[in-house]
């Protein structure tokens, strides 16, 4: 609506203040009532005052002079306004359906291939095919067709081996047996590697308003101090964790070193009468089921502590069921979210400061050891490993027996415990 000309009197000024508060049909009717009350020349005066066209004011007159009740809860009459696209262009909906079907079915030879299926891209293609529409209309039509914006759903587990269910049952049985015997059950894994330095850490942290921690614009490794490799040991029974933070490489030797430290500092005191340890681990990585180095170093640990070590690996594609992932690692991530891991000391302290209402406590230690990658384990070395596969899924379940029963003295690797 055009801006009205200045009012010619105080009465017009007051009248225009009321007029400005009304909706479209109310303005039209009030202007018509004013024009009728002024008599000859009233239409022209009201149109100049309000900026309404004569046709609009005349329409208001017809509404006032008719015997039909005035509509109070609608801006327009039923059926008034622009007709929907599906009425003016019935083929538009079918055209959109064909375009979307091409991409929904994943047809690589379809007439339309997008890097992303945005409503603007669809609108452009619809217009090119003779159905001019806006991107907002495309969004409304997609909803009418039953489409909605959705993220990917992580539900596919990958291949499902026949032994998968059997393996979970076997792990549960082993856990019950070890706990009933008073032996430790440990969930183990390596957490995601973290860049150490002034790098952005996802998440939010409370700080005084307007004082965010300034970090590097880029995440180039040479701007930092190295990489932190957290190897975790989670005691299922006691709801306690230990994290060995490495600075070098995630190797099988490094993984077993974390277990050594757990046993030396906590395990032998928590479980003085233990006859064995149960390790629940993923099937790959430094503690993988096919990793010869893992089994060789476990043999050294078993002989050192004089205990039988039982290992149960989760089947392929089932790592998310490893308890350490959602019982400990997730809590560590929450504890340090939004805080730059600017030093190794910061990493260790934030891990050690992780606690939950359910009683989780975590200890951490910085491992200064150097672990070489690519070490080969010969057949002769493997022949010296006292490994006894289980009857159920022997590729994933096995015992490693010590070469001697007397508990030895643990190594003196360097590092600080927090």
**Tens-digit pLDDT string for the chain (418 aa):** 444 444 456 778 888 888 888 888 888 989 999 899 888 888 999 998 888 999 999 998 888 888 777 666 555 665 565 666 766 777 888 888 888 775 544 344 444 444 356 888 888 888 888 888 888 888 888 888 888 777 777 766 655 667 888 999 999 999 999 999 999 999 999 999 999 999 988 888 777 888 888 888 888 888 889 999 999 999 999 999 999 999 999 999 999 999 999 999 999 999 999 999 999 999 999 999 999 999 999 999 999 999 999 999 999 888 888 999 999 999 999 999 999 999 999 999 999 999 999 999 999 999 999 999 989 999 999 999 999 999 999 999 999 999 965 444 443 344 455 5
Question: Residue 10 belongs to what H/E stretch?
Answer: helix 10-19
Per-residue pLDDT, 148 = 77
In a shared domain, residues 135 and 198: no
The CA distance from 150 to 214, in Å, is: 34
Residue 155 lies in a domain: no
In a shared domain, residues 24 and 171: no
Per-residue pLDDT, 159 = 56
In a shared domain, residues 285 and 207: yes
CA distances from 112 to 100, 108, 125, 315 (A): 9, 9, 8, 41
In a shared domain, residues 99 and 239: no
Question: Residue 62 belongs to what H/E stretch?
Answer: helix 54-65
Q: Is the pTM of this model over 0.85?
A: no
Per-residue pLDDT, 53 = 92
CA distances from 269 to 144, 301, 337, 409, 410 (A): 66, 17, 33, 15, 14
Residue 99 lies in a domain: yes
Per-residue pLDDT, 123 = 87
The CA distance from 257 to 71, in Å, is: 82
In a shared domain, residues 264 and 408: yes
Of 168, 167, 170, nearest to 178 by C-alpha is 170
In a shared domain, residues 192 and 223: yes
Count of structural domains within the chain: 3
Residue 71 lies in a domain: no
Per-residue pLDDT, 7 = 44
Strand partners, 362: 241
Per-residue pLDDT, 287 = 94
Q: Are 344 and 226 in contact (CB under 8 A)?
A: yes
């Amino acid at each position: 609506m055009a801006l009205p000309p200045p009012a010619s009197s105080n009465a017009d000024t007051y009248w225009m203040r009321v007029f400005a508060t009304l909706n479209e049909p109310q303005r039209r009717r009030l202007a018509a009532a004013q024009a009728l009350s002024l008599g000859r020349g009233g239409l022209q005066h009201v149109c100049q005052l309000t900026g309404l066209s004569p046709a609009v004011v005349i329409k208001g007159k017809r509404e006032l002079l008719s015997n039909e009740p005035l509509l109070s809860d609608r801006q327009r009459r039923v059926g008034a306004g622009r007709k929907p696209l599906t009425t003016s262009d019935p083929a538009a909906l079918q055209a959109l359906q064909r375009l979307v079907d091409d991409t929904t079915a994943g047809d690589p030879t379809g007439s339309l291939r997008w890097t992303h299926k945005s409503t603007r891209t669809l609108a452009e293609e619809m217009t090119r095919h003779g159905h001019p529409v806006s991107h907002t209309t495309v969004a409304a039509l997609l909803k009418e067709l039953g489409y909605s914006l959705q993220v990917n759903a992580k539900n596919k587990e990958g291949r499902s081996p026949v032994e998968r269910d059997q393996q979970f049952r076997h792990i549960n049985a082993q856990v019950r047996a070890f706990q009933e015997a008073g032996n430790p059950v440990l969930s183990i894994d390596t957490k995601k590697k973290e860049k150490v330095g002034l790098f952005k850490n996802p998440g939010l942290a409370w700080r005084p308003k307007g004082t965010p921690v300034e970090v590097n614009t880029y995440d180039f490794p040479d701007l930092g101090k190295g990489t932190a490799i957290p190897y975790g040991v989670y005691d299922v029974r006691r709801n306690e964790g230990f994290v060995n933070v490495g600075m070098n490489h995630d190797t099988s030797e490094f993984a077993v070193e974390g277990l050594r430290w757990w046993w030396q500092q906590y395990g032998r005191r928590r479980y003085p009468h233990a006859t064995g340890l149960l390790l629940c681990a993923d099937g790959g990585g430094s503690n993988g089921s096919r990793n010869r180095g893992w089994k060789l170093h476990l043999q050294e640990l078993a002989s050192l502590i004089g205990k039988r070590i039982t290992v149960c690996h989760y089947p392929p594609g089932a790592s998310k069921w490893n308890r350490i992932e959602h019982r400990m690692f997730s809590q560590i991530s929450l504890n340090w979210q939004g805080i730059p891991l600017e030093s190794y000391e910061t990493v260790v302290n934030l891990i050690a400061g992780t606690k939950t209402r359910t009683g989780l406590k975590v200890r951490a230690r910085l491992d200064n050891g150097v672990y070489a990658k690519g070490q080969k384990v010969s057949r002769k070395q493997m022949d010296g490993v006292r490994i006894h596969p289980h009857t159920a899924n022997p590729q994933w379940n096995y015992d490693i027996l010590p070469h001697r029963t007397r508990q030895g003295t643990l190594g003196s690797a360097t590092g600080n415990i927090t």
